[in-house]
Amino acid sequence: MMTIDPDFLTSGGGISFLTGNCNGSFSYGYSSFKGKRASMEDFYETRVSDIDGQMVAFFGVFDGHGGPGAAEYLKLNLFNNLVHHPNFLKDTKSAIVETFKETDSNYLNREKGQHRDAGSTATTAVLLGDRLLVANVGDSRVVASRSGAAIPLSIDHKPNRSDERRRIEDAGGFIIWAGTWRVGGVLAVSRAFGDRLLKQFVVADPEIKEEVINDVEFLILASDGLWNVMSNEDAVAVVRDITEAETAARKLIEEAFARGSTDNITCIVVRFSS
């Protein structure tokens, strides 16, 4: 059994109380591990804030490629940009879409003239009272548990997904097999922040799913370092009997590494209680 040196594992957690129509609480924990990669390109964000008297929680996993720059930029800016959108509380879905596009544009403008072309996925969950809005760009993933059943709340943006292939080809691009399906033979995700040279085809438009959290036991947000070696059902089974969210996040990292994950691995667990 492969083991993880705790000195190379980042983890933590917290607890907050929901407001609005749900009279429960939630706890959250996170864990992040460089794994077998030479460098760490995963970033994450957990934030609980009061916005005009409304409790707002934000969780995000950002899996960088081509360097850590885009993922780190998202960690530092995406949530701040979102909560400062003038319609964040009134029309949250539209605010998320506009903020994702604006943040991508801001990052690309900052990178003009630089000899680098980093990109990043963004998998986020926003809690507003008992509303849950999951927004996804790329192949990190959010999975919920309801009565022990694994419910995917995002769908990976892979180049060979039929609708993604059609969108890319309609824009004048192509995908080919190069060890895996890749946009232009280069990138293994079909949506991402950054990726200036492929921006015509690799967009940062999020897919958004809204849920009511009343019957959700917990959420798992994780980079593909986890999902490459674990199914949704496997991940839910690991977490289900672990009451502490931070412990659950660490256990998922350890299990993914033991199963042979060779990528950076980052995971956030959000557990709800009535």
Q: Are residues 53 and 147 in the same domain?
A: yes
> Are 23 and 71 within one domain?
yes
Q: Is 6 exposed, middle or buried (0-12, 13-18, 19+ CB in 10 A)?
A: exposed
Asked if the structure places residue 129 within a domain, the reply is: yes
Structure tokens at 108: 């690309």
Record the pTM: 0.92
Under the banding of pLDDT at 50, 70 and 90, the label for residue 5 is low
CATH number at residue 234: 3.60.40.10
The answer on 259 and 209 residing in a single domain is yes
pLDDT band at 20 (very low <50, low <70, confident <90, very high): very low
- In our burial notation (b when 16+ CB lie closer than 10 A, e otherwise), range 98-110 reads bbbebbbeebbee
Whether residue 107 is found in the same domain as residue 139: yes
Q: Which of 144, 167, 191 is the last residue of a domain?
A: 191
Assess whether 139 and 214 both reside in one domain: yes
Report the percentage of the chain scoring pLDDT > 70: 91
Check whether residue 183 and residue 72 sit in a common domain: no
SS3 181: strand
State the average pLDDT for the chain. 91
d(CA 56, CA 104): 23
What value does the mean pLDDT take over residues 155-165? 96
Domain that holds residue 173: 158-191
* Same-domain pairing of 76 and 180: no
113 located within any domain: yes
Of 143, 170, 191, the domain-final residue = 191
- Residue 127 in any domain: the answer is yes
Check: CB of residue 53 under 8 Å from CB of residue 74: no
Are 124 and 258 members of one domain? yes
> Looking at the domain assignment, is residue 1 inside a domain?
no
**d(C-alpha 5, C-alpha 105), whole Å:** 39
20, 70: one domain: yes
**The two structure tokens encoding residue 127:** 């809690």
Whether 16 maps to a domain, the answer reads: yes
- Pair (151, 166) in one structural domain: no
**Among 146, 166, 191, residue at a domain's last position:** 191
* C-alpha span between 273 and 214 (Å, rounded): 9
Does residue 262 contact residue 35 with C-beta atoms inside 8 Å? yes
**How does pLDDT run across 99-145, given as a tens digit for each residue?**
999 999 999 999 887 777 899 999 999 999 889 999 999 999 999 99
Q: Is residue 178 part of a domain?
A: yes
Q: Give me the number of domains the chain comprises.
A: 2
Question: Do 226 and 130 sit in the same domain of this protein?
Answer: yes
If asked whether residues 77 and 167 sit together in one domain, one would say no
> Is the residue at 196 inside a domain?
no
Q: What is the rounded average pLDDT of the residues 65-73?
A: 96
pLDDT of residue 130: 84
Q: Are 206 and 135 in contact (CB under 8 A)?
A: yes
Tell whether 197 is covered by a domain: no
Is the pLDDT confidence value at 87 over 50? yes
